[in-house]
A and B are shown apart, each in its own frame.
Chain A
Amino acid sequence: MEICRREDKLEISELDPFLAELLRQIPASTNPEGTPAAEKRLFSPPADRSKTEQCSEWKLYVEPELRRLFRTARETVAADLEQLNGNEKPFANRKLRIPTQHADAWLNALNQARLVIAAKYNFTDGDLCDHYRSPIGSRRDLGLFQLNFYGFLQEFILREIDDCPEKTSD
């Protein structure tokens, strides 16, 4: 896999089918359904839970706005990922171009996915720092690989928008 910036696009090329599939899974991976810990992490309370009035107001007024924000980011990423659904041969390497204006949406969706995956598999600090683990021994290991791969993409996007901040939008 190669990753670079070409003018106003971030280009990920030589994507093998496995990594392309991991990218396709970003929107689905952000779904916290069935994992209360993930839902709790994405929509954490704004104050100590004993502050019930503050927390219930937040749930009523702010949470819907956050849900809308996260959904918008997810939809932007899903639309960009349509590029991976071309008519190429099933095992051919793919290329993905991300407009730099979508960088914030990608950072947000990747973060949603990483948080949900971490909550789903209950990864510890030790798991997250273990970069020498055999890539795929179980579904949990695959989850860790996926989380680290998304982190790698986040680092790349951050580096690129840091170099050219004027080319991105909030």
Chain B
Amino acid sequence: MSWPPQWRGAGVAESESAVTLSAAKGATRSAVEDPVLEKKTRSQDDVDLPWQVVVHNDPVNLMTYVTMVFQRVFGYPREKAEKHMLEVHQKGRSILWSGMRERAELYVQQLHGYLLLATLEKIS
């Protein structure tokens, strides 16, 4: 085995995958007679959902710098990044992202790396 993996030609890959798929279908029919439906449970991520990343106003950081940071950290297009930057500037804070806690923590850490005033807040 080598890295990076060597991709085979498209024709070969298609024919091989076709054989494999049909074989797998047959195997599935014979091996699994009565599928059992598992009860769906909420994951830890679902439980942790309501967190938000908030950036607070700081008169020292340049507007262009803040826009660049939003683009880099969140991958936002310039227009969206500028909209958030202006919201921070005019309203004192802007919610940049909301979702799972772990990811929100990572974003806050990245924003602090760029020296922005950012906090993690649980949505009440």
Residues from chain B with Cβ under 8 Å of A125 in the complex: 59
State A170–B73 Cα separation when bound (angstroms).
Answer: 11
CB distance from A10 to the nearest CB of B (A): 16
**A-contacting residues, B69-124, CB 8 Å:** 72, 105, 108-109, 112-115, 117-121
CB distance from B114 to the nearest CB of A (A): 7
CB distance from B97 to the nearest CB of A (A): 14
Contact with B along A40-78 (1 / 0, CB 8 A): 001111111000001000000010011001000000000
A115 and B115 contact, CB distance less than 8 A: yes
User: Does chain B have a CB within 8 A of A26?
Assistant: no
Residues from chain A with Cβ under 8 Å of B2 in the complex: none
User: Does chain B have a CB within 8 A of A118?
Assistant: yes
Contact with B along A70-89 (1 / 0, CB 8 A): 00000000000000000000
Residues from chain A with Cβ under 8 Å of B49 in the complex: none
**A-contacting residues, B29-87, CB 8 Å:** 58-62, 64-65, 68, 72
Task: Tell me if A's interface is mostly helix, strand, loop or mixed.
Answer: helix
Residues from chain B with Cβ under 8 Å of A45 in the complex: 119
Report which of B72, B105, B117 forms a contact with A44, defined as CB distance below 8 A.
B117
Query: Of A14-22, A90-98, A133-141, A151-159, which stretch is located at the interface?
Result: A151-159
Residues from chain A with Cβ under 8 Å of B115 in the complex: 42, 108, 111-112, 115
State A170–B113 Cα separation when bound (angstroms).
Answer: 12
Residue of A nearest to B117 (CB): A44
Contact with B along A146-170 (1 / 0, CB 8 A): 0100010011001100100000001
Q: Which residues of A contact B (CB under 8 A)?
A: 42-48, 54, 62, 65-66, 69, 107-108, 111-112, 114-115, 118, 123-125, 128, 147, 151, 154-155, 158-159, 162, 170
Give the 9 A-B residue pairs with the shortest CB-CB distance, closest first: A118-B60, A111-B115, A125-B59, A158-B64, A46-B108, A47-B119, A47-B120, A128-B59, A114-B60
Show 20 A/B contacts (Cβ-Cβ < 8 Å), sorted by A.
A46-B105, A46-B108, A46-B109, A46-B118, A48-B119, A62-B109, A107-B65, A108-B114, A108-B115, A111-B61, A111-B114, A111-B115, A114-B60, A115-B61, A118-B59, A128-B59, A128-B60, A147-B60, A158-B62, A158-B68
Given A111-B115, A115-B115, 9 further pairs, Cβ under 8 A: A44-B112, A44-B117, A45-B119, A62-B109, A65-B109, A111-B61, A111-B65, A112-B115, A154-B65
